[in-house]
C-alpha cells in the first residue's frame, strides 16, 4: 500500500512539474518580443563613423516566400509528376495580426493570382496591344526580380555591403540587387521592380523609405500582391552579432484599407568561406515562356 502511495505521489509531482514547465513555454504562434530575448545591444561601428556596421551575409529561416501569413503545408501544382518536390512547407506568418487588410476587389484578385500562378505568360502580343505586361503567372516562376520586401525573406542568402553613402543589398536569386542611398532627397526617377530606396540612421536602426515601384511583383507564392502605389518603410536593427531584426510597414491605398506591418529575424551566415553563389534562373524558364515561339523544323 505504501509503495502504491509513493508511486502515486511521484506521478502527481511529475504531472505538476510538467504543467509548470509547459506554462513557461510560449504557445504556438506566440512570439517572444525581441527585447526579452536579447539584452540591449550596441553593434560595432562602421570604420570611421558612428553608425552601426551591418556588413555580412544574412538569411531568413521563415517560409514567408510561400505565404506571408501562417499557412499549412500544401501540395504542389503537379503532385502527380513532382510528388513532394513541389510541395510547399508549413510555417508561421510574419504579418502582425496574421491578417492582410485587402479591399474586397483586391482580395478577389489575390485569389485569382493563386489560381493562375502557374499560367506563366511571356511578353509578346498582349504587351504590344495593351501596353501592359501579362497579368498572370507568379513572378518568381518567371524569374522576375523579387521586389521589396520579398527579396529579404526569399530562401536564399543575401549580402549587405555598407559604405557611409550607400548600402548595397544583393541576393543569390537571379543576382537581384538594390542600392539604398543614404540621406538623399531625390524622388524616384522611374518605377522599377525593386523600388527607389533612401535611408537614414535612427540610433541603432537603419530606416529605409522605398517608393517608385511597378506592380509586377508579389509578396509571396500565395498570390498576395500590390499596386504601383506601394510604399515600404523598412527598419534594420542588430540584436546581436548574429541576429538582425527586420521590420517593414506596408502602405498601398489601391490594394489595402490601411497600412500593415511584417517582421522577422535575419540570421548571420558564419560558415567558413561563406559567400554568395550564382543562381541565374533565366535559362530555366526560356522553354516555358518562349518555347512556343521557337521555329519548328520543316520536313
pLDDT digits 0-9 by tens, 210-227: 999 999 999 999 999 999
Percent of the chain at pLDDT > 90 equals 70
Instruction: Find out whether 269 and 164 touch, Cβ atoms under 8 Å.
Output: no
Structure pTM?
A: 0.83
Q: How confident is the model at residue 240 (pLDDT cuts 50, 70, 90)?
A: very high
pLDDT digits 0-9 by tens, 245-254: 999 999 999 9
Q: Would you state the pLDDT for residue 280? A: 93
Q: Residues 207, 212, 216, CA angle at the centre, nearest 5°?
A: 115
Mean pLDDT of 253-262: 98
Does position 29 have pLDDT exceeding 50, yes or no?
A: no
Question: In the chain, what are the domain boundaries?
Answer: 52-71+89-292
pLDDT digits 0-9 by tens, 46-95: 999 999 999 999 999 999 999 999 999 999 888 898 899 989 999 999 99
Amino acid at each position: 500500500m505504501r509503495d502504491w502511495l509513493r508511486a502515486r505521489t511521484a506521478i502527481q509531482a511529475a504531472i505538476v512539474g510538467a504543467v509548470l514547465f509547459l506554462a513557461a513555454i510560449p504557445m504556438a504562434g506566440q512570439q517572444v518580443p525581441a527585447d526579452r530575448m536579447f539584452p540591449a545591444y550596441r553593434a560595432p561601428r562602421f570604420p570611421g563613423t558612428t553608425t552601426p556596421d551591418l556588413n555580412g551575409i544574412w538569411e531568413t529561416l521563415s517560409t514567408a516566400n510561400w505565404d506571408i501569413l501562417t499557412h499549412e503545408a500544401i501540395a504542389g501544382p503537379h503532385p502527380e509528376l513532382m510528388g513532394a518536390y513541389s510541395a510547399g512547407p508549413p510555417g508561421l506568418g510574419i504579418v502582425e495580426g496574421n491578417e492582410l487588410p485587402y479591399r474586397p476587389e483586391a482580395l478577389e484578385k489575390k485569389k485569382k493570382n493563386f489560381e493562375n500562378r502557374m499560367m506563366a505568360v511571356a511578353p509578346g502580343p498582349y504587351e504590344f496591344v495593351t501596353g501592359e505586361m501579362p497579368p498572370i503567372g507568379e513572378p518568381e516562376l518567371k524569374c522576375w526580380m523579387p521586389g521589396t520586401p520579398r527579396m529579404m525573406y526569399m530562401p536564399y542568402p543575401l549580402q549587405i555591403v555598407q559604405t557611409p553613402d550607400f548600402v548595397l543589398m544583393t541576393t543569390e536569386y537571379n543576382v537581384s540587387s538594390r542600392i539604398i542611398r543614404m540621406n538623399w532627397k531625390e524622388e524616384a526617377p522611374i518605377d522599377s521592380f525593386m523600388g527607389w530606396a533612401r535611408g537614414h540612421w535612427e540610433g541603432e536602426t537603419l530606416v529605409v523609405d522605398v517608393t517608385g515601384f511597378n506592380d509586377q511583383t508579389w509578396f509571396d507564392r500565395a498570390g498576395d500582391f500590390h499596386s504601383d502605389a506601394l510604399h515600404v518603410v523598412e527598419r534594420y536593427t542588430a540584436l546581436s552579432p548574429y541576429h538582425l531584426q527586420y521590420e517593414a510597414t506596408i502602405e498601398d491605398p489601391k490594394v489595402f484599407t490601411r497600412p500593415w506591418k511584417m517582421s522577422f529575424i535575419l540570421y548571420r551566415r558564419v560558415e567558413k568561406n561563406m559567400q554568395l553563389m550564382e543562381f541565374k534562373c533565366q535559362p530555366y524558364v526560356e522553354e516555358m515562356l518562349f518555347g512556343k515561339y521557337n521555329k519548328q523544323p520543316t520536313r
